[in-house]
Structure 1
Amino acid sequence: MYGSLMVCALAAAGPAFAEDASTQASPDNATSLGTVTVSASLNQTLAEDMPLHTTVITQDDIKNSTSQTLDQLLRTVPGFNFTGVPAAISDPTGQQTKMRGLGNAKVLVLLDGIPIIDPFYLTTQFHKVALADVDHIEVIRGGTSSLWGNMAVAGMVNIVTKRPSDNTGVVTVGAGNHGTASLSWSQNFKVSDALALNLAVNQYRTDGYITTPSPYRWKFPRQRANSARDTNIELSAYFRLTHSLNGFLRLGNHEQDQHIGYSYGRNLQKNPDGALGLDQRFDKDSSLSLRAWAQNVHFTKYNGATCYYQLAGGCLNSNAKDQVVSNDVVEYYSQYGDLHYRERGSSLTYSRFFNAFFNSLQVGIDYRHLSAKDSESFFATPGSPEIPQVLNATGYGRGEQTFGGAFVQAKVSPLDVLQLTFSGRYDSWRNTDQVHTLTKASTGVVSGGTLPSSSKSAFNPGLGLHYDATDTWSFRGATYKAFRAPGFNNTTRSYGVGPTPWPIRTWDRKP
């Protein structure tokens, strides 16, 4: 969907809770977090001085947690609204990251300032992050589209990874019920004072469980537990080119292999990616940061199903009544998809700090280009056990999306106890090279074709306030406008097998 959201918020808190640094933080830990800066703010604001409600999950919090995956850890943070099923065994086409009740694809998740969002479905790529590699996590509740643009509607998460400083290695082992286990190995290599490497290998697996309550499983004969195996390999290099120029290069390969619901149900994603960061400091008060990233995704998807074969003919699926239950169960594919999509992006941010009144200024630009191809085969409910696969139709879609943005942020302190943060961002979105076709298997008739390009742009302002009323009480408030554009699942898909494809034009709708 394309839409905008205007929000005003005001909150008050005592000092031990102002930064709300972690749901597991002790009073001593909370006090020390007054020195923690939030890198996602882009102006190095202290956690306790953020105008939006901010949580910092420290490395100690992660070590003391029983969570084995990132989404399990974030479930403990107030404001998140996850479904009851863990991300590892959720279908990646519908896995949701929600905050403060707002729907899917409205929470931006970053890894070291770079999106880890599925370019097609706009879901979070939780499987790409092992907790053993995380230094800390910043969670900001409230819209940050005036800085980060698309999807930062309800809030954002920035995951900051560890940096190698020696030749140590760490092996982390975890286990749980339902055949759940995780194994991570992280090895640092300090080549010189100007170069350090890290090799991280990890795997998470679970046998999962059947999510359907027992009294209703007769509707889904031979349903199986959703199981998953996530494997990640990453090599990172951290370097210093000059006394004022440093950076990092990260190359990774990620695979998520899920078996969903039935013997014929499977989701297999293969996802190589890379990221580059350069930070140039001109003096103690000014710097320039460059980020560039790329990822390719090959997603092979099989949807499985079952039905009860009837002696009178025909096969009845989960909509059937209990009177038709029998031992003659037919298993079949209901849908097969072969998706290829990729993302290319870059950003450039300049930051300067001034004085006690005019604290800081940040300006930046960013660019993302996405492309996708989607081939689908749709199968009908079989008529007999001898012919379980009945092709109904095939579909094809492709498209490209381009995002461009420019932003400015200024922070001023007219009083020692008052901080005001002004921000504004212009976003441009274009959807081009759209093709949707649907071919009926019975007739060979092809419908659909090339669709016209579309575009939208928006200006998203924001204003944040932080006021220290006393030594024990502070107030924060914010008003902002947020931005979210549609994903490929909204623009390159044709749903149903009617006479014409049905492309969903959700950018015409307002939230």
Structure 2
Amino acid sequence: MNKHVGVLQIGGLLSLFAAWDVSFAQDESADLPFNLSDVVVTAGRIERTLADTPVRTQLLDKATIEKLHTRDLRDALRIMPGVQLREVHGKTGEQVYLQGFDGNRVLILVDGLPVTATTGSTVDVSQVSSLDIERIEIVPGAGSSQYGSAAMGGVINVITRKTDNRFGGRVRADVGTFGEREVQGDNHPGERHLAADVYSQWAGLNWKLGLDQRQADDFDLNKDNYRSNGFDGEKSNYQLAVSHQGEWSDHRLTLKRFVEDTAYRTEAKGNFNAKKFEQLDRDHISVHNNWSLSVAHTLAFSGLYESQRDKSDQLKNDPQITSGNLYRDAKTHQKKAALQWSWLPQQWGAGLASVVSGVEWYQEDLSQNKAEVKLSGVQEPGVKRVDDLGNGTFLHHTEEVKLETRSTTEAFVQSTVPLLADSELSLGARWQNDSRFGDHTAPSLNIRHGFLLDDWSIQLRGGVAAGYRAPNLKESYFEFDHSVNGYKVLGSEELTPEKSRSVQASLNITDNNAINVELSAFHNRITDLIEAVDTGRREDNGRVAIYESTNFPKAMTRGYGMSVQHSPFSGFQQQISFNYLDARDLEKHQALPNRSRRSIKLLLLWDISYRWNITLSGEYQSEFYTDVAKRNVSPGYQRWDLKTDFNLNKTLGFYGGINNLNDVVRNTSDASDRRPSRGRFPYIGLSYSF
């Protein structure tokens, strides 16, 4: 059976089954699969209803996030049309691809502030807990005119829940297993998850405490070799939020800490068994302040400081043979301060324009040191010092990246002008001064036109924007020496900034009751796209491949998509989407790697009663190149997830499900196979609210 047809047939059969007997849910009210009155903020940096925003925005609401039993941002994004996820090489998480742009060019925000990237460039979305998420807003396409560097592919903004002025909270705990793939035994509970928050009012302030802890034991797709595919350890998020809301102001202080303490089995050079240990600590403090100066004028200030330390050690299992042991210690910091002024006239549609403007300052730094145990005590070039360990081995200390700093000062303005009763034009520009690359201005223009056709509402959106991204510190300076695994990735100070021209268009049709259809298309032309490529150079008698960041003179991503949301009866919602992507290097006339051309996603949400619901999600991704020069291809695949919730009462409930129901996994003997490493995973959980 053709894989595309198979997905569609399954979705159709389930839809017919759902429509067969509607008596279970007819007496229960249910949210529509879409709500054009939902308020979003990301596209224009001010609150607008989804129907009124001039820029196409995708929204994932809290109710759906909870029904998907999401543990982190990765789980939530998996169902979103046009979003592709890829594992971060050498890490335990995943990065986002959007409109053919990888995680370096997709800006991940939490309440409008950036998340520190694990590797200095790419955000691991598995590190962002779903405990506190109110909704997720996605703005596909070039966002540089509003959000600056790193937003060429789009913006994903996680909006967290506001603190409450009453006492309450929630606890969720679940456990699951990968079965026979568990290293510690078939019936071992391989993953445990605990999420809890409590909120209350004290001393005139709203307080909220949150904890999200994910513990795992390693699993192995191929027990014939030593290497394992899953990690052993934990990822934990801790949060304290304090807020105060007055008649004309709103203030919030948030403290967060993320800890990753993981290990997984690997092999060192010479076929020695080894383990890689990762200890990552990230501390976050942010403030948000909003003042209503008048009915139409608002002023907002936000500030951020994040400090991250990532210690990565690869050690041989044999304590008698320590040569080749590798210790790496990377430190990063980011600081941001932003001031925004908004003018929103009350007589909208009377020829008055809204204006949003602001100034921002941002700074990041990166430093990294490496120590490696060798048999030779000769101090090679670039090595700071050599310590004699006294057993015939020597510890070589290398400063891979000296303290490098990058800062930007930016200013933006956006004006939205009513044209007709339900039409508007939005003009914007962003000026950026980079400490390394100087000034650049990126403009944008978007237009929206809405009209009624009988009982149907139709929205047309179109826009053009100039994208711009300066090379980050990793791409410029990083030296990721992983010779023990056969490769190095080198940064380059010769890199130049990327630029893009982006064209976006979408058509939205809805009857405002049961069906919503969206058609979209995009075309991005990129100059000087930065990618890490195999230079062809080799070290250590050909055993170590050298990769280096370089500019591609001309590249392109283009594509189209269709998404249909339908609620055939109360309590049942379904969504199916198809997306096509063409991403290529125009100089070499070949595809860009790690991008699937076709993807299909299906989501079914069925509230059988007010106590019981079932969720089924499916995803198909076509094959894609992992190494274009060598013509290495990763196979396409289908994946299905099944979830259910049963509430005994308003406080106590049970939930469970099976992730990767059809158990599609990669072939570990094929280095090009990038299908999922996490196979079938049944789990069960308990929730308690108070």
- Normalised by the shorter chain, which TM-score bucket? 0.7 to 0.9
Q: In the TM superposition, what is the alpha-carbon distance from 1:474 to its structure 2 partner? A: 1.9
Of the three residues 409, 423, 431, the one matched with 1:426 is: 431
- 1:410 maps to 415
Of the three residues 438, 448, 468, the one matched with 1:456 is: 438
Tell whether 2:289 aligns with 1:278. yes
- 1:351 maps to 342
CA contact (8 A) 1:265 1:333 kept: no
One-letter code of the match for 1:425? R
CA separation in 1, counterparts of 2:363 and 2:73? 27
CA separation in 1, counterparts of 2:130 and 2:361? 29
- The total of aligned residue pairs comes to 426
CA contact (8 A) 2:163 2:242 kept: no
- 2:459 maps to 474
- Which structure has more relative contact order (CA 8 Å, sep 6+)? It is 1
TM-score calculated relative to the size of structure 1: 0.75
CA separation in 2, counterparts of 1:50 and 1:475? 11
- 1:254 maps to 258
- 1:126 maps to 125
**Greater fraction helix:** 1
Q: In the TM superposition, what is the alpha-carbon distance from 1:470 to its structure 2 partner? A: 3.2
The 3 A distance-change label for structure 1 pair 388 and 508 is farther
The 3 A distance-change label for structure 1 pair 169 and 495 is closer
CA contact (8 A) 1:116 1:125 kept: no
- 1:206 maps to 216
Tell whether 2:280 aligns with 1:269. yes
Q: Which deviations, in whole Å up to 9, do the C-alpha atoms of 1:238-266 show, x marking residues without a partner?
A: 113x5312210011222111213334301
CA contact (8 A) 1:419 1:467 kept: yes
The 3 A distance-change label for structure 1 pair 267 and 502 is closer
CA separation in 1, counterparts of 2:426 and 2:449? 12
Q: In the TM superposition, what is the alpha-carbon distance from 1:278 to its structure 2 partner? A: 0.6
- 1:377 maps to 371
Tell whether 2:509 aligns with 1:507. no
CA contact (8 A) 1:119 1:370 kept: no
- 2:168 maps to 168
One-letter code of the match for 1:403? T
CA separation in 1, counterparts of 2:482 and 2:127? 35
Q: In the TM superposition, what is the alpha-carbon distance from 1:90 to its structure 2 partner? A: 6.2
Q: Which deviations, in whole Å up to 9, do the C-alpha atoms of 1:344-388 show, x marking residues without a partner?
A: 111000001123233410000111111222111346699xxx989
CA separation in 2, counterparts of 1:261 and 1:293? 36
The 3 A distance-change label for structure 1 pair 238 and 305 is same
CA contact (8 A) 2:471 2:496 kept: no
Q: In the TM superposition, what is the alpha-carbon distance from 1:405 to its structure 2 partner? A: 0.7
Q: Which deviations, in whole Å up to 9, do the C-alpha atoms of 1:186-239 show, x marking residues without a partner?
A: 0001126x520001112012224346x67xx65xx4546323411122111011
CA separation in 2, counterparts of 1:476 and 1:28? 29
- 1:142 maps to 141
Q: How does 1:59-458 map to 2 (within 5 A)?
A: 59-83=62-86, 85=87, 91=91, 95-118=94-117, 121-126=120-125, 128-165=127-164, 166-178=166-178, 179-191=190-202, 194-210=204-220, 218=225, 221-223=226-228, 225-240=230-245, 242-262=246-266, 263-304=274-315, 333=324, 335-354=326-345, 355-356=348-349, 357-378=351-372, 394-397=398-401, 398-430=403-435, 454-458=436-440
One-letter code of the match for 1:38? V
Tell whether 2:488 aligns with 1:489. no
- 1:465 maps to 447
CA contact (8 A) 1:288 1:348 kept: yes
CA separation in 1, counterparts of 2:425 and 2:31? 27
CA separation in 2, counterparts of 1:333 and 1:497? 11
C-alpha RMSD of the superposition: 3.2
CA separation in 2, counterparts of 1:233 and 1:284? 37
CA contact (8 A) 1:91 1:260 kept: no
The 3 A distance-change label for structure 1 pair 492 and 378 is farther
CA separation in 1, counterparts of 2:444 and 2:325? 46
Q: In the TM superposition, what is the alpha-carbon distance from 1:82 to its structure 2 partner? A: 0.7
One-letter code of the match for 1:483? Y
CA separation in 1, counterparts of 2:153 and 2:482? 35
Q: Which deviations, in whole Å up to 9, do the C-alpha atoms of 1:11-69 show, x marking residues without a partner?
A: xxxxxxxxxxxxxxxx9644762111211121322213333332211111111113322
- 1:317 maps to none
Consecutive unaligned residues of structure 2, counting only runs of 5 or more, are 1-28, 179-189, 267-273, 377-389, 484-488, 498-527, 530-690
CA contact (8 A) 2:290 2:301 kept: yes
CA separation in 2, counterparts of 1:481 and 1:388? 58
CA separation in 2, counterparts of 1:424 and 1:154? 17
CA separation in 2, counterparts of 1:148 and 1:469? 30
CA separation in 2, counterparts of 1:489 and 1:351? 35
One-letter code of the match for 2:450? D
Secondary structure of 2:290's aligned partner = strand
Q: In the TM superposition, what is the alpha-carbon distance from 1:117 to its structure 2 partner? A: 2.8
CA contact (8 A) 1:95 1:123 kept: no
CA separation in 2, counterparts of 1:68 and 1:331? 38
